[in-house]
Chains A and B, each alone.
Chain A
Amino acid sequence: MKINMKRKYKISLGSLIFGLFMVEHVISTRASPTDSTYTPQIEFLLTLVILVSIFIASLVFGMLIYIVFRFREGNKTVRKKIQNEMRLEIGWVIFATVIVLSLFVASLPATTSYFSEREDYDEEILVIAYQYNFTFVRENGSRSVDIVHIEVNKIYMFNITSIDVIHSFYAHELSIKLDMVPGRYNIIYLQVPIPGTYEVHCAEYCGFGHYSMEAKIVVK
């Protein structure tokens, strides 16, 4: 529940940039816990990028309001042209490049962990998508449609594919999303430390029934 609270705050922090809405009641309305082994890294990056955005947005909007207010027609103020045009430009280029590149570097560890192969998984689960269901096939050959039961803290390799069009395996609370492409086997590893029922939805438009395509991951 702790980590869940964090994401709630980040979402409200994100909306603060826009300075438009109070989202206190949203914080109190989100129901289920948010966690998988990917979650902490992603939450960290989300915080980082939100803070950087708030900083830059307030800089730009602050400048906009200040300049318009000060230099509006009829206002008495010193109207001097800016000197050192070149130095300002170069400074800004360096500032922006450093910020975006450090964000990129900060994201690398999480990206690599998301994309790297693991040998130490406990079970492989084959997930087959078709319009508009998910079928889960276990190592022992048992099948289930739109629901899968897994155990807390065990590492599962989800081997996902589709038999008709592209779908996407999206479990918001577990911070995973991976496209299910016909003819291709995409792999994602999942380890969930908190028991609960997590929703899976299809994230890639796959036909009229796209909205109704959902499954549950039950963690015990």
Chain B
Amino acid sequence: MRKITETTHPPFYKNWRTLIGTTNHAEIGILYIVLAIISVFIGGILALILRTELAFPGATIVDAELYSIIFTAHGTIMIFMVIFPLGAGFGNYLIPKLIGAPDMYWPRWNNAAFWLLIPAGFLIFFAQSSVGWTLYTPLSAELWGVGVDMWIIGVLLAGVSSLVSAINFIMTIASMRKPGLTWGKLDLFSWSIVATSIIQLCATPLITTGLALLLSDRILDTAFFSAVGFGVGSFLWQHVFWSYSHPAVYIMILPAMGLTSLMVQKFSRNEIFGYKSMVVSLMVITFLGFLVWGHHQYTLYGAATDAFTTTLFSIITSLIAVPSGIKTFNWLLTMWGGRIKLEVPIVFPFGFIIGFVIGGLTGVWLNIVPVDIIVHDTAFVVGHFHMIILGGALTALIGAFYNYFPEMTGKMYHRNLAWVHCFMWIIGFLTTFNSMMIAGMHGMPRRYFDYSTFSNVDVLAFWNFLATVGAYIMFISGVIFVINMIYSIRKGPPAGDDPFNLAIDELPTV
């Protein structure tokens, strides 16, 4: 593995031709990660504006219109510009190395997939769409203005990018493994990228078709999703949208799970517990993930309509808890009997396990149909999926960044600052998202700009204020992270071959 700062002369990012034209998988991986770090601050500042607005009842810093624009941009940027690129970034950086390939199967397409994201990001950020990332019709089909169209085109571009990189990953892992590396010996991160790519390959065409037809509804006055009779247009959109967007949750979380497997293995200096059951549960999650989208629609049908569909989706969804539980259980037992070196890159995955367990269990609540009826579309749901995506996926991905930082830059990060970041981050997300869930249980609907007319406004204000405090803690820890990285790249001590003093020889060294 080339160390970027040492062996490339001059480094690829110093010259715009090599920056734009690079086809090296590690360099593209780093580009993805840098894009995600820049975007997470943009999305994070948007989130802080939302949280600051909600900290006190009544209008404080923004108005209702700007609030809607901001939560739409926040959601989309965090999904398509942060979590997806981080998965693709670590995939690019690690996969060829893990499977012993010189590069990806199609290096130029790999480069194109990354650069497609830049116009996508600009379109999404400047679109000022205000219909939420779920684009429920007929609102999204009818809302006047060019913003929603720009947003749709931006997300279409991001979809093409993720499709290209998915095909590239599948081809690379399927055909470029070093001799002797059979599927049965493949590491769990490569397996998770295989699963992620399968989901992207099968699910992205659904949203692409859906968005293209919605665009045609908006521009050409067709009526695929804006048809009103019996609510068919709205129903169709929700089915198309969630049949992509539920599997998309697994696009976000599976790479994080794979990285957690690697890091738990590495820092406990132990072999993975239950390799086979890890792979099988990964594939079961991938498969079941396609069959559960209807759990977003339990409140869509009234009495005497569709109890059958509802119970069917409910039972399949509850089964997903089983493979997820197995994975958690196996991570814990992987550490059993090991020598656990407590470093930042292993404590972040512990944060992942905490977030994933709380988020997963509250997911079970949401799947109990009568419970879902009271908490659906409230801050409870928002807290739940942030607990999974931020508390789970993003936390593990940050841990992975600390893990590979010495290798990427040849420098060691400042350990104490990293510890501060780690603990502030975990405390921050637990505070924020637990408070949001409790506010939701008290009846705080989501996407509300103001709750001052509620009869229990003081309770809602308390939990919302606490959630805002947590958000600021997370943001400050993020600033500490960036300071640490910039400082360490310039002045950090050389990392050496074994930056964490693990002294592993026979176990996987990734």
A166 interface residue (CB < 8 Å to B): yes
**Selected A-B contacts with CB under 8 Å, 9 pairs:** A26-B442, A31-B455, A45-B368, A93-B322, A104-B368, A111-B311, A115-B302, A172-B442, A188-B303
Query: What residues on A are CB-neighbors of B365 within 8 Å?
Result: 46, 49-50, 53
> Interface size on B (CB < 8 Å)?
98
A112, B358: Cα distance in complex, Å: 28
Given contacts A96-B322, A188-B302, is CB(A14)–CB(B142) below 8 Å? no
A214 → chain B, closest Cβ, in Å?
6
| Most chain B beta-carbon contacts within 10 A, residue among A26, A50, A181 | A181
Given contacts A68-B350, A181-B231, A202-B445, is CB(A211)–CB(B136) below 8 Å? no
- Those of B267-312 within 8 Å (CB) of chain A: 268, 273-274, 277, 299-307, 310-311
B427 → chain A, closest Cβ, in Å?
9
A118, B304: Cα distance in complex, Å: 8
Query: What residues on B are CB-neighbors of A199 within 8 Å?
Result: 454-455
A106 → chain B, closest Cβ, in Å?
8
Question: Do residues B319 and A111 form an inter-chain contact, with CB atoms below 8 A?
Answer: no
Binds A, one of B33-41, B92-100, B163-171, B339-347: B339-347
Given contacts A176-B373, A210-B448, A211-B449, 13 further A-B contacts (CB under 8 A): A21-B435, A30-B456, A61-B357, A81-B337, A88-B333, A89-B277, A111-B370, A115-B305, A183-B230, A184-B231, A186-B305, A206-B139, A211-B64
Given contacts A63-B332, A68-B335, A177-B376, is CB(A115)–CB(B231) below 8 Å? no
Identify which of A11, A57, A81, A166 contacts B234 (C-beta below 8 A): A166
B419 → chain A, closest Cβ, in Å?
15
Question: Do residues A96 and B335 form an inter-chain contact, with CB atoms below 8 A?
Answer: no
Question: Do residues B371 and A42 form an inter-chain contact, with CB atoms below 8 A?
Answer: yes
A135 → chain B, closest Cβ, in Å?
18
A175 interface residue (CB < 8 Å to B): yes
- Those of A181-220 within 8 Å (CB) of chain B: 181-189, 199, 201-212, 214
B462 interface residue (CB < 8 Å to A): yes
A152 interface residue (CB < 8 Å to B): no
A139, B332: Cα distance in complex, Å: 61
Query: What residues on B are CB-neighbors of A166 within 8 Å?
Result: 136, 138-139, 234
A53, B367: Cα distance in complex, Å: 13
Question: Do residues A118 and B132 form an inter-chain contact, with CB atoms below 8 A?
Answer: no
Identify which of B131, B369, B441 contacts A14 (C-beta below 8 A): B441
Question: Do residues B299 and A67 form an inter-chain contact, with CB atoms below 8 A?
Answer: no
A187, B304: Cα distance in complex, Å: 8
B417 interface residue (CB < 8 Å to A): no
A179, B335: Cα distance in complex, Å: 47
Question: Do residues B462 and A26 form an inter-chain contact, with CB atoms below 8 A?
Answer: yes
B227 → chain A, closest Cβ, in Å?
8
Binds A, one of B9-17, B209-217, B323-331, B471-479: B323-331
Question: Do residues B304 and A115 form an inter-chain contact, with CB atoms below 8 A?
Answer: yes
A2 → chain B, closest Cβ, in Å?
18
- Those of A16-63 within 8 Å (CB) of chain B: 17-18, 20-21, 23, 25-26, 29-32, 38, 41-42, 45-46, 49-50, 52-53, 56-57, 60-61, 63
- Those of A132-167 within 8 Å (CB) of chain B: 160, 164-166
Given contacts A71-B268, A73-B340, is CB(A115)–CB(B306) below 8 Å? yes
Query: What residues on B are CB-neighbors of A14 within 8 Å?
Result: 437-438, 441
Question: Do residues A184 and B230 form an inter-chain contact, with CB atoms below 8 A?
Answer: yes
Query: What residues on B are CB-neighbors of A63 within 8 Å?
Result: 332
- Those of B415-453 within 8 Å (CB) of chain A: 430-431, 434-435, 437-438, 441-443, 445-451, 453
A45, B367: Cα distance in complex, Å: 11
Interface residues, chain B, with chain A CB atoms under 8 Å away = 64-65, 68, 130-132, 134, 136, 138-139, 142-143, 228-232, 234-235, 268, 273-274, 277, 299-307, 310-311, 314-315, 318-319, 321-322, 325-326, 328-329, 332-333, 335-342, 350, 353-354, 357-358, 361-362, 364-365, 367-371, 373-374, 376-378, 430-431, 434-435, 437-438, 441-443, 445-451, 453-456, 458-459, 462-463, 466
A-B contact count (CB 8 A): 277
Query: What residues on A are CB-neighbors of B376 within 8 Å?
Result: 177, 203
A112, B233: Cα distance in complex, Å: 27
B463 → chain A, closest Cβ, in Å?
8
A210, B328: Cα distance in complex, Å: 39
Query: What residues on B are CB-neighbors of A29 within 8 Å?
Result: 456, 458-459, 462
Query: What residues on A are CB-neighbors of B354 within 8 Å?
Result: 61, 64
A84 → chain B, closest Cβ, in Å?
11
A87, B463: Cα distance in complex, Å: 44
Query: What residues on A are CB-neighbors of B364 within 8 Å?
Result: 49, 52-53, 100, 103
Question: Do residues B321 and A82 form an inter-chain contact, with CB atoms below 8 A?
Answer: no
A122 interface residue (CB < 8 Å to B): no
Query: What residues on A are CB-neighbors of B342 within 8 Å?
Result: 68, 72-73
Question: Do residues A170 and B322 form an inter-chain contact, with CB atoms below 8 A?
Answer: no
Question: Do residues B353 and A64 form an inter-chain contact, with CB atoms below 8 A?
Answer: yes
A12 to chain B: closest residue by CB = B438
Question: Do residues B368 and A49 form an inter-chain contact, with CB atoms below 8 A?
Answer: yes
A140 → chain B, closest Cβ, in Å?
23
Query: What residues on B are CB-neighbors of A88 within 8 Å?
Result: 274, 333
Given contacts A42-B371, A166-B136, is CB(A208)–CB(B304) below 8 Å? no
Question: Do residues A21 and B304 form an inter-chain contact, with CB atoms below 8 A?
Answer: no
